[in-house]
Structure 1
Amino acid sequence: MARNSLLDRFRPVGAPGPAGPAGVPALDDEGPAAELIPVFEALDPAISEARGRTDAAAAHAQQTVAAARRQAAALVEQARMDSAAVRAEAADQVSAAAAREDEQLLADARAEAQTLRSRGESRVPELASAIVADLVQDLLGRGTDTG
């Protein structure tokens, strides 16, 4: 049996003119579904190919995610290992900065001590003269008070 086309669904009607019988579906038992079967059958290879591509893409995505997770885990592990070295380097920098600050404080203290020492030494002759003068005054004053 030959396949019917879309145009075969309707019975032929008369030529234009006075009213005649209306066209009605000729194949009521099969309906439009029978016409769509060949279309969907023709789509089967494309659907199968699409499913295959989707499955391949899903597998590829899983592989990519797994590789990314492995890479992330390796980066985290490397960062953990590097963190000890970074902490040690930071501690060294802090220690060096503290040592420089201590050296600067010590140098400032020595300079201030030297300044005080110089001032004191410069006043020694003056103070010594004043003390000797006071002692001499004391001794002279006692000598006149006892007699």
Structure 2
Amino acid sequence: MARNSLLDRFRPVGAPGPAGPAGVPAQDDEGPAAELIPVFEALDPQIEAAQATAGNAAEQARESVAAARRQAAALLEQARMDSAAARAEAAAQVSAEVSRQDEALLSEARQEAAELRRRGESRVPELASAIVADLVQVLLGRGTDSG
């Protein structure tokens, strides 16, 4: 045999007809592994290139993850600072609103107190007259009871 091929591994089977000897491997000492060695040897550079590419991709992925973590930490820190400023601003707004409400309530209370004072002062002469009249009645009534 000049060159072995996959088809040379089996002996030719007899012509169609009555049963004859079955085909069996002609060369069993090397087997199918010997046929695949050149194929895998030809793939070695591609396998090494694929492993190098995978290694580079893994390194780039590690670097990307590290960069993303740094960026996320920076964003988180900025968000914390922004939230503190926002809280301070909200507290100032609430405080200003409460102060405005307190001023409005105080103004209203002062107006009501002034109105009550005015009404009370306007009734003083009338009440004083009524009290004096009542005292006169009591004193006159006492004077007549005792005399």
Interval containing the TM-score (normalised by the shorter chain): 0.7 to 0.9
Aligned position for 2:93: 93
Aligned counterpart, 1:15: 15
Most deviating of 126-135 and 60-69: 126-135
Shift in Å, 1:99: 0.9
**Aligned with 2:63: secondary structure?**
helix
Aligned partner letter, 1:20: G
Give the % identical residues: 79
User: TM-score of the superposition, structure 2-length normalised?
Assistant: 0.81
Letter paired with 1:93: Q
Alignment RMSD, CA only?
Answer: 2.5
In the TM superposition, what whole-angstrom CA distance separates every residue of 1:25-84 from its partner, at most 9, and x where no partner exists? 011111111122222223323322321221121111111101101101211222333344
- Count of residue correspondences: 147
Q: Which residue in 2 is equivalent to 1:24?
A: 24
SS at structure 1 position matched to 2:37: helix
Q: Secondary structure at the match of 1:8?
A: helix
TM-score, normalization: structure 1? Answer: 0.81
Compare 130-139 and 103-112 and name the one that shifted more: 130-139
Q: 1:77 to 1:3 in 2, by over 3 A?
A: farther
5 Å-filtered alignment, 1:1-147, equals 3-138=3-138, 140-141=140-141
Consecutive unaligned residues of structure 2, counting only runs of 5 or more, are none
Structure 1 unaligned spans of 5+? none
Q: Tell me how far apart the structure 1 counterparts of residues 69 and 82 of structure 2 sit (CA, whole Å).
A: 20
Structure 1 stretches (4+) deviating beyond 4 angstroms? 138-147
